[in-house]
Structure 1
Amino acid sequence: MKIFRLILFILHLGILFLLLGTLLNAYIPPKIFPWFNLLSLGFPILMISYIILTIFWVFSWKKRAFIFMFIGLAFINPVKRWVNYSSPKNGDSDIKIVSFNTRAGGGGVSEIGIYLKSQNADVIFLQEDSGISYKFEGYQKTNPSGGFAILTKHKIISQKSIDPQDESVRVPGLQADIEINGRVYRFIDVYLHPFRFDKDMVRLNGNTDANEQKIKDVVKRLIPTFKKHQEQVGFIRQAVENSPYPVILAGDFNSVPNSYEYYHLSEGLEDAFLTAGKGSATSFHDYKFPIRIDYAFSSKSLKAISYEVDRSIHVSDHYPIIVRFSKERK
């Protein structure tokens, strides 16, 4: 029994160090060491394993249980980025946004159009738009660029693509300065470089050699994409930091919470799900695994009062996210 407990203790320590590695994504970019970003993909499994082992030590009446419980407090916010239960928020809804990766309308252009119109949002962020024209009475649309579009029923002051001016770096976003009820806000629609996986690439079977090759192929695709994301994040950060207006940044980041992309895109901004979300933030549902890659962040002068992942519509491999913000009162 002692040997069994020793093995579990070593395993528990190993999982702890891997979890701590995900926190280093806030400091170490993928171009220097991409493996921490890779760890962030497995955060839910690592965290569940850590909790199960901690419970085991509690029922085994081992003092180490309290040490693991204390250290586990460091992962409260990282866990809440995946699953959260915030208290109800008070405030008037000044701005309602919808962000939706429509998968180029492949699931039904008409159905997507009807859904978006029914939301009556102030601003709609679309990714993988592919130039599809969703026309609603009273709405205007920014010029789509690189799969982006922003729709709004308010006055557009200015708009432009966040263009790196480098053919090796994909356009990561679209910004629009929009006046709503006498105030101007900068809305940034984000779509980071996709990994372009299909289910067969990540589905393991009984063939050990084939599975090993699949894992190698996935890693070979992940790491270069992480490095591309690092460059794209830099250009988006410029659009945020140079804004003279409060910012709402939303879209498909193709990155999970606790990743380098998450830490750096959220810097100085509030994660609307942490503020107002309830339940699971999983927004990408194609692989039947908890994956959150769609987000909404805002300047601190705006407060999220509700956050919803709308699982009622299945026309894309993403669920739309719907957020209501209340502006700071003076």
Structure 2
Amino acid sequence: MAIKAWWDGQLSQRYWMEITDRPDLGGELTAPQYNIALKPEWSYELVTHVRPGDIVIHWHKKLVGEPAIVGWSRAVGPLSESTMSWTSPGAKDSARHHVDVPNWIMPLGALHLLDAPITSADLQSIFPQIVSTLEGFSYAPFYVYGGRQLRAMQSYLTKFPAELIPVIESVGSLELDAEPNDFPLLPDTKTTPNGHGGGQGWLRDAKLKVAIELHAVQKAVEHYVELGATDILELGKPFDIKLMLGGDERRIEVKGSSGAVDSVLLTRNEVIHARGFESMDLVVVDEIEFERLSNGEYATKGGRIRVWNGWSPSEQSLTAMSYKHELSPSALGNGIPC
């Protein structure tokens, strides 16, 4: 289905809210690509719009005894696809059935639990301010029930407008300035021992990864501005930049690196999109210098820019990084409890 991505091109709009009762809070966002009726659903498809470095706020239905904002995680990426078993809701156990459906997965990391969860009662106390702030925003995290009660959306993933943060923090801190101390491995760059360019490896610091990505996009934009590009729009998905050049629309996939690279990581969707649009360019900005500042942020500069016009990745240029393996009947039948 077509998502109205009102946040595109707005770097401050990097917040989402997961509504859940899952026991493995902060593990990953996972959603089927369509519901039990085999129809698309916006709250599932929003998972594909989450970018590495985005913050996913967790609304848990019962972790603290009542519905509340209990913490947040950072999106790690990359987005991937798999298969999940979907159970029809609402029916008694004897009437339920399971369907295997494709799903989207966005890994999360750096789970931060709030010292003081912000409960539904806290939010009810600022009901008018929340309703007023959310007016006009699609896919909002809350709705009005019965004309006077604020409730979390009956959905999975919602878009959390940046404008809502100061309103929420009038009754409790989201602690968004907390320094994560346990980032999982993230895609970044390495250089081979002989000094030649390597491929994209893995990095532990999500802030650095985001800083490098944003720097690369900035340098790509500057390059096309010098060529006379207009109507430049930064998107992120399913490609990074859309612009007009010489009267034609061009779409740009951008990859950034702090080291010298001769290969980059691509998602399945990036490959599909690149092959389906003729005026597609690949921009790689590597050898980006960075410095960690006293406030924990990163300053970036420099780099080397390379451009591949009319880019369409061939099968010969791609290397499989993982596989989905279909299970045949087991030697132990349906399995033995252990």
- Which TM bucket (shorter chain)? under 0.3
- Identify the structure with the greater helix proportion: 1
Higher relative contact order (CA 8 A, sep 6+): 1
TM-score computed with the length of structure 2 as normaliser: 0.22
